Structure formats: C-alpha cells, structure tokens
Amino acid sequence: MTSTVSFTVSTTRRWTILALGVFAQAAQAVLVNGTAFLIPTLHEQHGMSLTQAGTLASAPVFGVVFALVAWGAIADRYGERIVLTSGLALASVAVVAAAATSSTVALAVFLAIGGACAASANAASGRVVVGWFPPHQRGLAMGIRQMSLPLGVAIAAMTMPLLARDHGIGWALAFPAAICAIAAVACAAGIADPPRPDRIEAEAQGLLANPYQQSSVLPRIHAASVLLVVPQYVVWTYALVWLVTDVGWAEAAAGLVITAAQFLGAASRVAVGIWSDRVGSRLQPLRIVAVAVVGSMLALGVVAATGSPLAVVMLVIASVTTVSPNGLAFTSVAEIAGPYWGGRALGVQNTCQFVAAAAVGPAFGAVITTVGFAGAFAIAAVAPAFAVPLVPQRLRGKSGTETSL
C-alpha cells in the first residue's frame, strides 16, 4: 500500500538537506574508510604485518557494525536530525582521543568507538534523503547521497597517507575528527526531519508492520549486498598498498590514482541512480552492475598477474564498478521498509555490509600474504558472482515504487 505523505517542500530546502546528508556521510567515510590509508605507514614505519595493520585499520568498521541498528531505531523513533548531530559530534571526540594516544590497544578502542558513533550517518542520512524526495527522483537523490562514500574515501586518500607519513598517525587522525565536528554543526543547523504519516494513518496503510515477517525480499537484498561489498573493500583497503609495494609507485602518485578512481565511482553512483529512475526499477540495474563487478575483478586479477601497465587502468575500472551497486540497494531497502521501518532496515543493511567489510581487512591480508595481490583480486570476484542470482525480481513496495520479489 502506498503512503499518502506529501512531498511538497521548497526545492531549495530539499536539495540543501540532500547536500547535508552527503556531507554527513562523507565525513563518516573519511573516518571509517580513511584508516585503510594508514596501512603503509603502520606497515613500513611501525613494523606491523599487513594482517595486523589491516586489522587495526578495520577497527572503525567493527565499531560501526555494533551500532547501526541502534542508530536506525533511534532515527525511526526520534528523527534524523538528532541522530546525525549527536553521532558525528561524539565521533569527533572519540577520534581526537585516538589521535592523542600512544597505545596501540587504546588506538584500536577509540577508533572502534569513533566508528560506532559515526554509524549514525549511515542510518540517518539515507533515510532523510528517501523521506524528502518523491519516488521518481529517489534514484538520482540516493545516487548523489551515495556519492559521499567514494568522495569521502577520495578526500581521505588525498590527505591521510601524506599526513601519516610526514607528521605521524595522530595528525592523520586529526583530519577526520575535524571533518566530523564540522558536519555535526552543519546538520544541527540545516537538517529537518522528513514528513511521514501519523501512527494511526500509518497503521491503516500497513506501514507499521514488520517487513521482515512479510517476505524474504529484504533478507535477499541484504545477502546480495554483503557479497557485493567484499570486492569493494578489497579494492579500497589494499589498492594503495598494491600500487606502492608491488607496482612500485610513490605514495603520492598512488593516492592520486585512487582519488581519481573514487571521483569516477561517485559519478557512477549518480549515473546508475538516474538509470533506475528512468527504467522504474532499482533491482534490474543492480543485477547488471553485479555482473560487471565480477568481470572487472577477474580482469584486474589477470592483468595484475601479468604485470601489465593495464593493471592500473583495470584498477580504476574495478574501483568504479565495485562502488556502483550501493545506492540501488539502499534505495530499494528504504522503499520496501517504509517510513517507520526504514531506519532499522537501513541499519540492518549497513550492519550486514560492515560485518563483511570488517572481515575483509584481516582476511584478505592473509590471502595476499599467501597468493599475492593478483590472486586476491581474482578470488574477490567469487562473492559478487553468488550475489547475482540473489537479487530479487520486481515488486511494488510500501512507498509506491518498484522494489523486489
């Protein structure tokens, strides 16, 4: 049943809220994903193995895993503005503490706490975007919102490796702490909670019912998304290390390549969002993109094994394809779950993905040690291959748009 919520709101206000959602999510990405760019410094200057450095760099991801559903439930109950503001402010404080410590254990703990607090952006920024935009614009809007993740990674790639190399880990971490603090202030000033039916009307429309008890649609999307996130985080976590240690590039040059790839990946998320609006489906494009992920990772593994100069080109292509599916899956999940379950459903979606992402750092550090980077890239193609048949078929969802079955 479709919602009768009106989407009448100032166009300027709607796009301003989207911009703030992008900023909040980008700040979260700088914190949570930027620690991967500390791996070369941890490995070369602090004597850590790749497995140890990868595990430490994954600490914020572990923190995110344990907080996403809780933040989503708070957003469902109290709204997005309070979640974004308080979460990002607390994340900034935690990362300041991480930057100030000299203990490896304390560093890991504070990074995990920072990730848990920053998870508020994952749970609320997507929900606020879906809430403010009508169905025929949601693919575009969520694609723009999903740009924030590769943009955040690009910003981290441009800044954190150089800060860590030249000034130490503490100064590198001061950067995401500052970004999160600024984002918290911006969200407090500019975010408004989206409209939704009151609980009586929502109950009459079936919007209060638990969508997980009604079908297997959401679990299938979650499962496909988990599998698709594996190659994404393999590329994000180890591309810089591969370019520096195997290809022989300088850190600054490698960072520029990764930055360019992330900007292209951000653009691809907008492109597939527009595509989904035009074809009236989130899931048909998602299935096609999943096939492209398989092909790009296999190709990357092959050219990396041969030492071809095309390996760097293929890395850029793989970086773009692996980040493209997220917006499609997130939009579909939010539309299926509706305004009273969207926060929790997006929290579950993120949790599932981050559980996989948290395991990628140490697991593929061990894989790379055993079979090398080329073999690891090829192995990472197995997960998205299993995702393709899991993507559901078309179905009409609670918010009136195509979702899945």
What torsion do the CA atoms of 232, 69, 111, 181 make, to the nearest 10 degrees? Answer: 100
pLDDT in tens, 174-218: 999 999 999 999 999 998 887 776 667 767 766 677 888 877 889
pLDDT in tens, 126-138: 777 777 888 888 8
Predicted confidence band at 98 (pLDDT cuts at 50, 70, 90)?
A: very high
pTM: 0.75
Is residue 209 in a domain? no
Alpha carbons 227 and 274: distance in angstroms, whole number: 24
In DSSP notation, 266-300 reads HHHHHHHHHHHHHHT-SHHHHHHHHHHHHHHHHHH
Q: Provide the percentage of residues in the chain whose pLDDT is more than 90.
A: 36
Asked if pLDDT for residue 280 goes beyond 90, the answer is: no
Asked if pLDDT for residue 2 goes beyond 60, the answer is: no
pLDDT of amino acid 393: 74
Asked if pLDDT for residue 395 goes beyond 60, the answer is: no
Asked if pLDDT for residue 23 goes beyond 70, the answer is: yes
pLDDT of amino acid 150: 76
In DSSP notation, 231-242 reads HHHHHHHHHHHH
Is residue 205 in a domain? no
Predicted confidence band at 320 (pLDDT cuts at 50, 70, 90)?
A: very high
Total number of domains in the chain: 1
Type of residue at 176: P
Q: Provide the percentage of residues in the chain whose pLDDT is more than 70.
A: 92
Least confident range from 88-97, 291-300, 357-366: namely 357-366
Asked if pLDDT for residue 405 goes beyond 60, the answer is: no
Contacts of 223 (CB under 8 A, 6+ apart): 352, 387, 390
Contacts of 255 (CB under 8 A, 6+ apart): 37, 157, 158, 161, 162, 240
Asked if pLDDT for residue 336 goes beyond 70, the answer is: yes
Instruction: Select the more confidently predicted residue: 210 or 369.
Output: 369
Is residue 81 in a domain? yes
Asked if pLDDT for residue 6 goes beyond 70, the answer is: no
pLDDT of amino acid 9: 55
Sign of the dihedral through C-alpha 393, 395, 398, 400: positive
399 burial level (CB within 10 Å; 0-12, 13-18, 19+): buried
Predicted confidence band at 227 (pLDDT cuts at 50, 70, 90)?
A: very high
Is residue 199 in a domain? no
Is residue 184 in a domain? yes
pLDDT of amino acid 12: 80
271-288 mean pLDDT: 91
What CATH number is given to the structural domain containing 155? 1.20.1250.20
The residue segments making up the domain with residue 230 are 11-194+214-390
Predicted confidence band at 338 (pLDDT cuts at 50, 70, 90)?
A: confident
Least confident range from 81-90, 123-132, 243-252, 384-393: namely 123-132
pLDDT in tens, 29-39: 999 988 888 88
Asked if pLDDT for residue 10 goes beyond 70, the answer is: no
pLDDT of amino acid 184: 96
317-320-321 Cα angle (round to 5): 85
Q: Angle, nearest 10°, between helix axes 80-100 and 104-132?
A: 160
Asked if residues 51 and 369 have their Cβ atoms less than 8 Å apart, the reply is yes
Is residue 401 in a domain? no
pLDDT of amino acid 403: 44
* Residue 335 Cα distances to 96, 105, 143, 196, 274, angstroms: 37, 41, 14, 13, 16
pLDDT of amino acid 178: 96
Asked if pLDDT for residue 396 goes beyond 50, the answer is: no
pLDDT of amino acid 345: 86
Alpha carbons 125 and 129: distance in angstroms, whole number: 6
pLDDT of amino acid 42: 82
72 burial level (CB within 10 Å; 0-12, 13-18, 19+): buried
Helix (H, G, I), strand (E, B) or coil at 1: coil
Is residue 320 in a domain? yes
Is residue 88 in a domain? yes
Average model confidence (pLDDT) across the chain: 85
